[in-house]
Each structure stands twice: as structure tokens, then as C-alpha cells.
A = this chain, B = another copy of it.
Amino acid sequence: MKTLRVPEATVTRLSIYSRYLEQLDRNGVTTVSSGEIAEGVGVSPAQVRKDLAYFGEFGTRGVGYNVKDLLRYTKKILGLDQQWPLVLVGAGNLGYALCTYRGFNSRGFKIVGVFDNDLAKIGKKIGELEVLPMEKMPEVIREHGARIGIIAVPPQAAQEVADYMVKNGLEAILNFAPVALNLPAGIEVRNVDLSVKLEILTFNLGFKSAQRL
């Protein structure tokens, strides 16, 4: 199987293209060009074509891409042609928001278990889910075949939670705690850092002010 490595930036953009295609599809658009996608998501047309080229040929020369088809392909590539059960640790405000976040459901993600070690939170309902004690995680993972966990706990607790997840067979972790997790090779980890992008903004605003001097 000849598979040259795909840059992560390409996968990121593919995810964005995919969601944009969903929007086009909802609006009844049937055909789209690389240029239109590019404009819609804010990259160059060449970038769009190059990104897609990693995975095959999906368009028709002189015409463009069939929206429905390309949407299906992109979702397939991203692994979104199936439902992904997720377990989430941390039933604070962020955990609550993630549980109720529509953007997950609409892309095939479903949170099947919410856990916390705070007795005050255990037993509470988040939508149809009940917050469970950590000890229940193994059972829920097994029952639903979950492979991915989400961490939405304070930074001090994140490493411990991550270790527990790995111990119980999870293969990938989406970490919202602002710390670098130390995990065995083979475990996929991605961090979503809520304040880093904000600090990029303040950096740029500061730079802008400086340039005016």
C-alpha cells in the first residue's frame, strides 16, 4: 500500500472543506470549484487541489467537484462514515458545553459517557446522560467500543485522567486542559487550547501598535 505521509495541516483543512461542503449541500449547491471552496474557507485554490490530490481525483476537469460526492469522500477519508462513541471526563462548565455541543453530533460523534470524581457532580444529568464516577469508565468503554476520550478537567488533574484513559484502552485523546500530556507512543493526542489563539491575537495587536510608532 503506497501511502505517502499526509501533512497534518492538510487533514485540518480537509476537515474544514468537509464542513463547508456540508453547508453548500444544505443550500442545494450541486457543483463547486476549487476556487469557490478556497474562497469559502480562506485558502488558495491550488491549496485545495493539492490537499485533495493526496487522496485521489475527485473532480471533473472543466467542471469542478460534485458537492455531494466530494462531501462523502472527505467524510470517508476523515473516518466520519461511522459513528464515534466518545467518553468525556470533567463535568464542569466546559464538559457540560462539550456534551451539548451540536457540532459533534452533526459530524458523527456521540458522547456516551461523562465522568467526574466530584461527588457533587456525580449523578447529575447532562441531557440524557448521567455523570458517572470514574470507576465506571471501563464498563462504558467496553459497552460502546469507545476509542477516543475527551479531557475537560483542570490542568492539575489532566495527566492522571489521561493515564487512566490509556490504561482502559482508549487510543486517542482530545485534551482541553492547558498542559502537555506525557503518554506512551501510539496514543494519539491533540490539544485544544482555548487561550493560545487569544494570545496570538494580543501578540498581533501589540505588533500592530508597535508598527504605528
Of A56-64, A73-81, A117-125, the one contacting chain B is A73-81
Q: Which of A7-52 contact B (CB under 8 A)?
A: 8, 11-12, 14-16, 18-20, 23, 40-42
Q: Does A185 contact B (CB under 8 A)?
A: no
**What interface size band does chain A fall in?**
35 or more
Q: Does A190 contact B (CB under 8 A)?
A: yes
| C-alpha spacing A60/B84, complex, angstroms | 49
Cross-chain pairs A/B with CB under 8 angstroms, 8 sampled: A16-B193, A19-B178, A20-B180, A78-B203, A98-B194, A109-B198, A148-B205, A174-B197
Interface residues of A (CB under 8 A from B): 1, 3, 8, 11-12, 14-16, 18-20, 23, 40-42, 77-80, 84, 86, 92-94, 96-98, 100-104, 107, 109, 147-148, 154-155, 171-174, 178-180, 188, 190-208, 210-211, 213
